[in-house]
């Protein structure tokens, strides 16, 4: 399963990229607002830091303006993945660019039939928002399972990019179901490293090693 980081904060992306665990980045208008950065400048910096796809979202809601915005966003770097909303105009834009071999991520997906539409429009990625579904007492991970089944039934190549992840269990279940990608806020990736037995076990090893008086490097 690929790991994308869901942020536009360069200072959070850089150290995670250095771990070698990052396969891409997702942004959206709210994350750009939070960063306080210019979309073109920050997206270019992210694209320079990360080898994989960097999702940059259109702001328009009509097809003609989305296509114009897409041209500007794709021009930022070769690894820009256009992000469009799951609307008729968004999917028309998706089809237009997918037919030219460009990467498109279809966002704001909340049902399996919406995901079916995105696959038929040639999306490289579909972004179902599991956390926001859980927030309204729906089954976010059940949606991922349904999309996996549908895509496998018809051998769709669209990758399932689990979005709006909030905690470790979303990542665990994404991997068990066989989602292709999970995009995570930095906080969630950091949580994945943690286990109290790892921390207490390491503390004991460090203490005992000091008592041996040995050094591995000298």
Active site residues: 83
163 interacts with ligand E4P by CB under 6 A: yes
Segment 28-47, which members bind ligand E4P (CB under 6 A)?
A: 28
CB neighbour list of residue 200: distance below 8 Å, 6 or more residues apart: none
> Rounded CA gap, 161 and 214, in Å?
47
Segment 186-215, which members bind ligand E4P (CB under 6 A)?
A: none
CA angle 213/217/218 to nearest 5° reads 70
58 backbone φψ class: left, alpha, beta (φ>0; ψ -120 to 50): beta
129 interacts with ligand E4P by CB under 6 A: yes
CB contact at 8 A, 13 and 49:
yes
Residue (43 or 183) nearer to ligand E4P, CB: 183
127 interacts with ligand E4P by CB under 6 A: yes
7 interacts with ligand E4P by CB under 6 A: no
Work out whether the CA dihedral 124, 22, 82, 161 comes out positive or negative: positive
69 interacts with ligand E4P by CB under 6 A: no
Residue (35 or 127) nearer to ligand E4P, CB: 127
> Which residues in this chain contact ligand E4P in the complex, by CB under 6 A?
6, 26, 28, 107, 127, 129, 131-132, 163-164, 183
């Amino acid at each position: 399963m690929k790991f994308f980081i869901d942020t536009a904060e360069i200072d959070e992306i850089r150290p995670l990229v250095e771990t070698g665990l990052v396969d891409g980045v997702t942004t959206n208008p709210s994350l750009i607002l939070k960063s306080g950065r210019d979309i073109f400048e920050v997206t270019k910096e992210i694209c320079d830091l990360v080898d994989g796809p960097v999702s940059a979202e259109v702001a328009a809601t009509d097809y003609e303006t989305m296509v114009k915005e897409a041209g500007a966003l794709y021009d930022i770097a070769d690894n820009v993945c256009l992000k469009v909303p799951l609307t008729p105009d968004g999917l028309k834009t998706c089809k237009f660019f997918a037919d030219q071999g460009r990467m498109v991520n279809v966002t704001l997906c909340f049902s399996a039939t919406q995901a079916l539409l995105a696959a038929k429009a040639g999306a490289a990625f579909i972004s179902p928002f599991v956390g926001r579904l859980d927030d309204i007492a729906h089954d976010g991970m059940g949606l991922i399972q349904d999309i996996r089944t549908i895509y496998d039934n018809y051998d769709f190549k669209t990758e399932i990019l689990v979005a709006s992840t909030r905690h470790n269990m979303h990542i665990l279940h994404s991997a068990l179901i066989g989602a292709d990608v999970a995009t995570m806020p930095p906080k969630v990736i950091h949580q994945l490293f943690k286990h109290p037995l790892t921390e207490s076990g390491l503390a004991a090893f460090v203490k005992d090693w000091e008592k041996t008086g040995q050094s591995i490097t000298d």
